[in-house]
Amino acid sequence: MSRAEPVQEASPAPESGGARREFVSLMTSRVGEAPLRKPLFVEGSADLLTLCRELAQRGLSEALIRDGARVGVFTTTNLREALLSGRPPAEISARELAVFKPFSVSVEDELFEAMLLMLRHRVRRLVVTQNGEAVGLLSQLDLMAFMASHSHLIALEAEQAETVEDLGAAARQIDGLIRLLRKDGVKVETIARLVGELNRQIFRRLWELLAPEELRANSCLIVMGSEGRGEQIIKTDQDNALLLRDGFACPRLEEVTEAFTRALIGFGYPPCPGGIMLSRPLWRQPLAAFRRTLDGWIDGSDPAGALNVAIFLDAAAVAGDPALLEEARAHLDRGLSDNPFWLSRFAKAATQFGEERSWWSRLPGLRGREAAEIDLKKLAIFPIVHGVRSLALEARLKELGTAARLNGLVAAKKIQPKEARDLTEALHFLMALKLENNLRQIGEGKPPGNKVALADLGRLERQALSDCLAVVREFKRFLALHYRFDAI
């Protein structure tokens, strides 16, 4: 059974104590604490008529099918396949219709992980295991029952949206959810993962509403940058693209992609200042043309090539055929397989922003220059993200998130566990600091940005920020030695 990684509606008054308690309960509870359905086990050789009779007698809509060592799930929705087959139900075995290798979670897993799994793979039920054995089923309805006073989940509302306006209503609830979760002390990395999955659900459903079926089948909608890495929380900009199957033409392509970008802007996702959106021709190309674009980014003929490569390295498929993205990424890897000089120049971007040591060394006491501001992204977050991205590219890792890449680098013995832990902790602190600052800016009616006024930080925050900058400084030194920046 496969393992992997809808959220509740943020009401107009998300500060209510009941809502907070339910969200916190969701974030801290284990799967085994939720109401689980005891599974009905049926042998794979059983005929469909017998199986349905058993389900009807027990008032159930699903069963687990044993077929030798395999375990699959049969639900009443599988009956459609039987009816379309034209065969008598008594001649169809359960194993023919069951879905084997279903998604599963352990009773010890966090309920939050189960929610993400349902959301990511658009499944309505999970097999629950204990010590490797199936002990129950968890459905979306079970989750909703566990969160009693909420009428529905944001993700379900997005999935069921029939119009762009309905989808926008779901998307606009995410900001309230962020404030609520942060106020109750949910870890910033957990918030980021949840928001990332919800955003992808919004993007996927919007694409389904706007793009004709033929276009969806012959393309791959991708998100990139911090959205692709799952590290963007507050809506700051759009980074998306569309890869098209070679030979496919859609007369309405420009109209559809423009409508997609406009709708996201209306949902509160600002346009990308650099134009990295599928409404721009550069970011909506057939695969063969995009391969040539990648070649130009690598050979240096495009001044923005390295930046565009960095953004594309964080690409994740949201809708359509993910094989198109995999082929584009494989082409990029081949182009860089024997190009250490390019990789060194690429990694050197992690050191492009100065540290202004004259003031950051005085952070804890803030002696003088109390009005000073620090750009958290340029001076701290970007060096970590891009340095780790460069090392991951060199090691041919497929992970997208910075923390996941650091774990992969440790496993590949490219970085020491202590350094990886320090970088992960620093990144998460910086993300949390940026989130708090963004929420404060929004509360003051200002657009969310990357600069934080040092006078707005408490003493402990300033000390932690100083420690994070020291971690970043050490990491830059490591990159300089590893890539021989002095020889570039």
pLDDT in tens, 182-221: 877 778 998 898 888 889 989 999 999 999 999 999 999 9
Which residue would you say has higher pLDDT here, 326 or 59? 326
- CA 439, CA 471: separation in Å to the nearest integer? 26
- CA 488, CA 486: separation in Å to the nearest integer? 6
- CA 308, CA 272: separation in Å to the nearest integer? 13
Give me the amino acid identity at 193.
R
Strand partners, 64: 41, 73
Q: In angstroms, what is the C-alpha Rg of the chain?
A: 25
What are the tens digits of pLDDT across the range 252-261?
A: 999 999 999 9
Check: pTM over 0.85? Answer yes or no. no
pLDDT computed for residue 427 by the predictor: 97
Residue 174 and residue 196 in contact, taking contact as beta carbons nearer than 8 Å: no
Is 60 exceeded by the pLDDT of residue 357?
no
Q: What is the average pLDDT value for the chain, to the nearest integer?
A: 85
What are the tens digits of pLDDT across the range 274-299?
A: 899 999 999 999 999 999 999 999 98
Q: What's the whole-number mean pLDDT along residues 357-368? A: 44
- CA 471, CA 422: separation in Å to the nearest integer? 7
CA 232-235-239 angle, to 5 degrees, is 70
- CA 269, CA 202: separation in Å to the nearest integer? 11
Query: Per the structure block, which two tokens stand in for 398?
Result: 């497929």
